[in-house]
Amino acid sequence: MLDTELDGVTVHMTGIKGSGMVALAQILHERGARIRGTDTAERFYTDDILEDLGIEVVENFDAANLLPDTQLLFYSSAYNPDTHPELAAARERGIPRYTYTEALGLLSERCDATGIAGVHGKSTSTALAGTLARAIDMSATVVVGSMVPDFGNLAASVRGDRHFIAETCEYRRNFLSFHPDRIMVTGIEADHLDYFRDYGDIFAAFLEYAGRLSHGGALIYCCDDEGARELASRIATTRADVRAIAYGYGASGRHAVTGCEVVEGELRFTLSGFDRFFSLRVPGRHNAVNAAGVVAVIEDILQSDGERSLAGSVLDAVQAALRSFRGLKRRSEVVGSAEGVLVLDDYAHHPTAIAAEISALREFYPGRRLVVDFMSHTYSRTAALLDEFAEALSGADALFLHRIYASARESYDGSITGRSLEAAVRRRGEVERVVYVEEPIEARELVIDELKEGDIFVTMGAGDNWQLGRAVLNALKEGGVRVG
């Protein structure tokens, strides 16, 4: 269905504001489809992308939203195809229905496909891959689960269809719709515990995904991560044809990170197979590792096209693109500054990612006090990893906490609340000030009272507390308040 014959086809997209869905909408739009979408009235950053593309969005769900000429329907897997009014209506009318992940699978069948996966770092890594692909003029379409400044603040880069690079998600085993020729795995650990039973269950999903590699395909894995190493070891016992390519600080090949330091606001690092240093202007030594994996991906793609390795002017372009990479939405995103306070926003919502982000900010902005506002996402994750969350968040100087940001994919049984996390942090006794406010936006004045000149204020998590950061910044800019 997702071949080149989409010009003039009328497509309906249910849940179009989702980060993956908006990237798919962009691809369909580029291929000439006529798109109409539906979603809730809540405003997301993806609203701006849809407006720029000129795509109409109806902010409710109703069977009547499917126009008579609708020929295809794509929908977010957050919705039940049997009970959602639009999806049920499409079934009754015989309109073909595909989830977002099924659409990625169909796209991946048509070309050389790379899936970037892992519990952490897959969005940044995919954005990096797209940035490098653009820099060397590769014929590639790249799909990221976030807005990417280097893509013109879009979620996809559509610059040809010889290669397809996509962020592929483990939740509900969604990545098993993908048909990979190579997979990059950033790391595996217990997460999405509303769906996976435990670590063994999520590892089994990654093992099945790696088993879907085409004959002679490549598994590009972070050897610093125990789960990724185990994956490479296990797949080697069943798929002798799969090429394992390691990257990271502990790697022994071309993509080993052999040095990394922060110099004048840049993360500078070296890779063993290259006679130069690389640099990034985004915080976090983990991003040097992500970049090493992406360089391995790009090099393997070039080799599939008949090139021997990264060298000469192509390597020059890769080096320049890494240095100019501007990150992506909600990943160490600089929201703005006022009254000597720098306001950031980050999507970190798992303890490992939270600890890495706090450590990265400490290194990138030495000597500055770190005020963190965190909103936990899903009851199941919070309950299962409560102590790990408390430990990770204890790296803050001051901490604001809120209710748990609920997910439609799980029900609340009353056993865990945002107050539970507050109590766990307080028990550790390492944060100088811990404040709980049920609704994030209601914490605005308390946050402003807490802030001092030179502070960093970062909103963190997968909830809607990012709005608090904007509200605090606007109040500081208006000049009606001053920090201490």
- The per-residue pLDDT for range 391-446, each reduced to its tens digit, is 999 999 999 999 998 876 666 777 899 999 999 999 999 999 999 999 999 999 99
CB atoms within 10 A of CB 422: 19
Residues 132 and 258 in one domain: yes
Start-to-end C-alpha separation, the chain:
60
Residues 130 and 75 in one domain: no
Residues 89 and 157 in one domain: no
CATH code: domain of residue 196: 3.40.1190.10
Residues 464 and 350 in one domain: yes
Q: Is residue 483 part of a domain?
A: no
Domain count, the chain: 3
Residues 155 and 236 in one domain: yes
Answer whether residue 3 shows pLDDT above 60: no
Residues 179 and 278 in one domain: yes
The residue assigned the tokens 């404040």 is 435
Question: What's the domain range around 419?
Answer: 333-478
End-of-domain residue from the set 286, 306, 324: 324
Q: Is residue 1 part of a domain?
A: no
Query: According to DSSP H, which parts of 215-308 are helical?
Result: 226-238, 285-304
Instruction: Report pTM.
Output: 0.80
What b/e readout covers 211-247, taking b as 16+ CB neighbours within 10 angstroms? eebeeebbbbbbbbbebbbebbebbeeebeebebbbb
| Confidence at residue 482, expressed as pLDDT on a 0 to 100 scale | 61
Residues 146 and 52 in one domain: no
Residues 310 and 171 in one domain: yes
Q: How far apart are CA 214 and CA 419, in angstroms?
A: 48
Residue 322: helix, strand or coil by DSSP? helix
Residues 291-332 have pLDDT tens digits of 999 999 999 999 999 876 788 999 999 999 999 998 777 777
Residues 94-111 have pLDDT tens digits of 999 999 999 999 999 989
Q: Is residue 276 part of a domain?
A: yes
Instruction: For residue 154, name the pLDDT band (cuts at 50, 70, 90).
Output: confident
Q: How far apart are CA 146 and CA 22, in angstroms?
A: 9
Answer whether residue 219 shows pLDDT above 90: yes
Instruction: For residue 481, name the pLDDT band (cuts at 50, 70, 90).
Output: low
Q: Is residue 2 part of a domain?
A: no
